[in-house]
Every structure is written in C-alpha cells, then in structure tokens.
Structure 1
C-alpha cells in the first residue's frame, strides 16, 4: 500500500531481458536502506527488490506488468518516481494507492500557468476507470487531484515542488504515463455494474 507521495527519483542504470521478464537496476539514495523482498512503487508500479548493491538495487518486471505499464519504455538514464510502501501509523498524505497500474495514459497538452502547470491526459474508457473533478488519480505513482474530467480525459494542476521532484518536468505531448484510478471509485463502479448488468 502506498500514498502517492514520491520520496525521490531514481535513475535506471541497467536493463536486462530474462526471457519475457525485464530486470531493472536503479541508482537511488534509498538503496542503502532497502532489503531484498521489500516492495517499492516505480512510476506507480509495485515491484519487489531482488538484489542489492552499494547504491543500486534491482527489481523484476514480468510480461503482464510490461504490457500494462510504461516500464517497457525505460532506457538507461531514465528517471523513475520512487516510493516505499507506507508503514502502519504513518500519515496518509496522498490517497490510498495500491501500486497496481490500471492502464497507460497519454499526455495531450501541457499548459504553463506562470507558477504552476496544467497537464492534460487521455485514456481508454472503461466502466470501472473513471475520474471526477476534485477526485483522486495516480499518474506515474504521484497522488493528484483531478481538475477537469471528461469522457476518457482529465487534467491535473502541478505545483513547482512536484514539477521539480518528479518526472512531470520531463512530460511533453505524447508522453506515456501509468494510471491508477481511485480504488474506492473502482469498487463503487463495479458494484453499480452488478446492479445494472442483466
């Protein structure tokens, strides 16, 4: 379980294919505090640490994860948003994030508002994947509040701190991002389907 509050970016230092899996080695100041079998969110994807070195660690993404997320787009030198799993008793500063990406969305517009930024995204519509104005959405692991919501589209406003300390500073039109829709909203949508489906 995560909160969507990014701790630090990491840098991909090595990518190694292993049959249909991808082993991803990341350099991060968090590496010295990790242990094998620990879970971290990488661009919002929960992955398990499989090995450690002095300032790097390695995780494995299986084919299902690569197909559902943007991790297959990573290259050596790519930045990755990192968050360790929350601890019991900690403040929930963002919202409840599972680290299970629902789908990849695409950035369609970036507005520079002279002090903040507004990013617009589109995604493939699905009955259980909805956004609402002032609701929560996770973009590459970042917990955000929806500004505008439409069929298969939404926008979010980004403050300078988030812009500077996450991958948002790299996004441009066409950038692919991992989306995790609000967990409570997904359950409500699924329950409503049960009532409306013959």
Structure 2
C-alpha cells in the first residue's frame, strides 16, 4: 500500500530480459534502507526487491505487468518515480494507492500556466475506469487531483515542487503513463453496477 507521494527519483542502470520477464536495476539513495522481498512503487507499479548491491537494487516485472504498464518501455538512464510502502500510523498525505496499475494513458497536452503545469491524458474508456472532478488519480505513481474530467480524458495541475521532485519534468506530449484510478471509486462503481 502506498500514498502516491514520491520519495525520490531513481535511475535505471540496467535492463535485463529473462524469458518473459524484465529485471530492472535501479540506483537510488533509499537502497541501503531496502531489504529483499520489500515492495517499492516504480512509476506507480508495485514491484518486489529481489537483490541489492551497494546503491543499486533489482526488481522483476512479469509479463502481466509488462502488458498493462509502461514499465517495459524503461531503458538504461531513464528516471523513475520511487516510493516505499506506507507506514501504519503515519499521515496519509496523498491517497490510498495499491501500486496495481489499471491501464495506461497518453499525454496529449502539456501547458505551463503562470508557475504551474497542466497535463492532459487520454485513456481507453472501454476498460471501464472513470475520473471525477476533484477526485484522486495516480499518474506514474504520483497522487494527483483531477481538475478536468471527461469520458476518455482528464487533466491535472502540477505545482512547482511536484514538477521538480518527480518525473513530470521529463514528461511530454505523446508519452505513455501508468494510471491507477481511485480504489474507493472503483468499489463504488462496481457496487452500483451489481445493484
């Protein structure tokens, strides 16, 4: 379980394909505090630490993860948003994030507006996910508030701190991002469908 508050930006130092899986080695300041079998969010994708060496750790993405996220697009040198699992009893600064990506979306617009940035994303509504104005959304592991909701797209506003301390500063028009829709909203939608 995560909060969508990025702790640091790691750097991909190696990508190794092994059968249908991909092993990603990440250099990060948090590495000395990690342990084998710990969950870490990578651009919003919960992956398990399988090895640690010096300031680098390795995680494995299986085919299911590669099919539903942008993790398979990462290459050596790419930045990645990182967050360790939340601590019970700590403040929940973002929102409840599971690290289970629902689908990907494409960035269709980036607009700077007097000290902040507006990003618009288009996604496939046929999968059944939805956003609401002022609702929560996770984009590449970052907890955000929806500012403009439409049936197949939404926008978010990024403050300077988030812009500088996440991979949003590297995100441009046409880039693929991971989306995790609000878990409470997903349960409410499912209950109403069954009624």
Q: TM-score range by the shorter chain?
A: over 0.9
Query: Are the aligned partners of 1:122 and 1:152 in contact in 2 as well (CA < 8 Å)?
Result: yes
Structure 1: give runs of 5+ residues left out of the alignment: none
CA deviation map 1:73-112 (0-9, x unaligned): 1010000000000011010000000000000100000111
Aligned twin of 2:100: 100
CA distance in 1, matches of 2:80, 2:108: 21
CA distance in 1, matches of 2:146, 2:193: 23
How far the C-alpha of 1:126 sits from its partner, in A, is 3.8
Aligned partner of residue 29 in structure 1, secondary structure: coil
What stretches of structure 1 move > 3 A for 4+ residues in a row?
none
Aligned twin of 2:119: 119
Aligned twin of 2:150: 150
Aligned twin of 2:18: 18
CA distance in 1, matches of 2:127, 2:30: 38
CA distance in 1, matches of 2:172, 2:58: 28
CA distance in 1, matches of 2:111, 2:169: 12
Aligned partner of residue 16 in structure 1, secondary structure: strand
Aligned twin of 2:42: 42
Structure 2: give runs of 5+ residues left out of the alignment: none
How far the C-alpha of 1:128 sits from its partner, in A, is 4.1
- Residue-pair matches, total: 195
Query: Which TM-score applies when normalising by structure 2?
Result: 0.99
CA distance in 1, matches of 2:35, 2:98: 20
Aligned partner of residue 13 in structure 2, secondary structure: strand
Aligned twin of 2:130: 130
CA distance in 1, matches of 2:87, 2:18: 32
Aligned twin of 1:57: 57
Query: Which TM-score applies when normalising by structure 1?
Result: 0.97
How far the C-alpha of 1:18 sits from its partner, in A, is 0.7
